[in-house]
Amino acid sequence: MSIITIVGAGMMGSAIGFPASGNGHEIRLVGTPLDREIIEHARKTGEHLTLKRRLPGSYRYYQIEELEEALLGADLLVSGVSSFGVDWFLAEILPVIPETLPVLAVTKGMQDTEEGKLIPYPHLYAQKLNRKLSLNAVGGPCTSYELADHDPTEVCFCGEDMETLRKIKALFEAPYYHISLSTDVVGVECAVAMKNAYALAVSLAVGLAERREGVPGKEHYNSQAALFGQSVREMRKLLKLVGGGDDNIVLGAGDLYVTVFGGRTRKIGVLLGRGMRFEDAMAELEGITLESIVIATRTARAVRKLIAGGKATAADFPLMLHVDDIINNGKDVNIPWGSFEVETQL
């Protein structure tokens, strides 16, 4: 039996312990200072407040002040924070863990730089820490509540060292949790972070169709599929620009699919598509984790720098730039359909 300590008791941090717990490992769930209620409630009832599922009986619960106890004898540390908790995790957790303890982060996102580069979180952590840690991450399509329900999925663990990845995989692999491995951290992380921005883009079509038909909940699939296709094209170009392997598009496209159908990002895209102003839509969704906004903003900022530097053109990323205009420049939704058309001559 191994001991897995998870810091960040949000929905995904809590759900990723399910397959490992099923394999007989001890799961210690540690709340961030913002997760107090989740931990208290789980201790009392065995249920997770936001995941809305009963947690396996083998879970142990810790408030952040009990971190030292939760780390005693641990074999793996999982980071369950979202993009909004990355700075906290970097400042408060990574400096105090043993250097021999490998880390696996579920966080999806990237940080852009002044030069227009996009840095995945494991690399950001490595750059900012003055100690050497084994920093690994999970990418791929996987909604937390469906993982808790044992719906089969296919994800990818990435990191620098294949042997370490194999050991971590052995803790989690289950008949419903299939794990590929990759040392292409930039490619995996970039593919699954970008899908957040593009899930917002595809969901615009859901709201637009409702607005056109005047029927809430009325869906049309042509327009969603067209935006899905353009999203995959732009994600593939971006993958190439950041130096990620092309096959990672499978993870990005799968993750895009699940997020359009089952993710929180869809909520903001639909409201914007219906014609709601960005500020009003954000106010309506207050309290819901919406990483798509921060990821779209950072990615578009990097793309605009790449364009200014002559490494890309605006014609390569019309959908990403439109999303950026809607959320950051006060523009109305007006899908640039014509700019998705291409001429291909063999």
Ligand X SMILES: NC(=O)C1=CN([C@@H]2O[C@H](COP(=O)(O)OP(=O)(O)OC[C@H]3O[C@@H](n4cnc5c(N)ncnc54)[C@H](OP(=O)(O)O)[C@@H]3O)[C@@H](O)[C@H]2O)C=CC1
Footprint on this chain of ligand 13P (rule: CB under 6 A): 108, 141-143, 199, 255, 258-259, 263-265, 289, 291
Q: Which is nearer to ligand X, 37 or 280 (CB)?
A: 37
The answer to the question of residue 34 lying near ligand X (CB under 6 A) is yes
- What residue spans of the chain are helical by DSSP H? 11-15, 17-22, 36-45, 67-71, 86-88, 121-128, 144-148, 162-172, 185-213, 221-242, 249-262, 265-273, 278-284, 291-308, 318-328
Least distance in Å: CB of 288 to ligand X?
8
CB atoms within 10 A of CB 181: 16
Q: Which run of H or E residues covers position 26?
A: strand 26-30
Least distance in Å: CB of 158 to ligand 13P?
15
Identity of the amino acid at 131: R
Residue 263 binding: pick among ligand 13P, ligand X, none (C-beta 5-8 Å cut-off by kind): ligand 13P
Least distance in Å: CB of 11 to ligand X?
4
Q: Which of 168, 140, 142, 104 is nearest to 11 (CA)?
A: 142
Residue 259 binding: pick among ligand 13P, ligand X, none (C-beta 5-8 Å cut-off by kind): ligand 13P
Q: Which is nearer to ligand X, 116 or 140 (CB)?
A: 140
Q: Which residue has the tokens 């937390």?
A: 144
Nearest position to ligand 13P, beta carbon: 263
Backbone angles phi, psi at 191, to 5 degrees: -60, -45
Least distance in Å: CB of 338 to ligand 13P?
29
Residue 134 binding: pick among ligand 13P, ligand X, none (C-beta 5-8 Å cut-off by kind): none
The answer to the question of residue 88 lying near ligand X (CB under 6 A) is yes
Residue 258 binding: pick among ligand 13P, ligand X, none (C-beta 5-8 Å cut-off by kind): ligand 13P
The answer to the question of residue 84 lying near ligand X (CB under 6 A) is yes
SS3 category, 159: coil
Least distance in Å: CB of 147 to ligand X?
8
- What residue spans of 263-290 are helical by DSSP H? 265-273, 278-284
Least distance in Å: CB of 1 to ligand 13P?
29
The answer to the question of residue 80 lying near ligand X (CB under 6 A) is yes
How far apart CA 22 and CA 45 sit, in angstroms, is 20
Within 58-112, strands assigned E span 59-62, 76-79, 103-105, 110-112
Torsion of CA 336, 337, 339, 345, to 10 degrees: 170
* Contact string (CB under 6 A) for ligand X, positions 46-65, x = contact: ----x---------------
List contacts with ligand X (CB under 6 A). Answer: 8-13, 32, 34-35, 50, 80-85, 88, 106-109, 138-140, 142, 144, 155, 289, 291
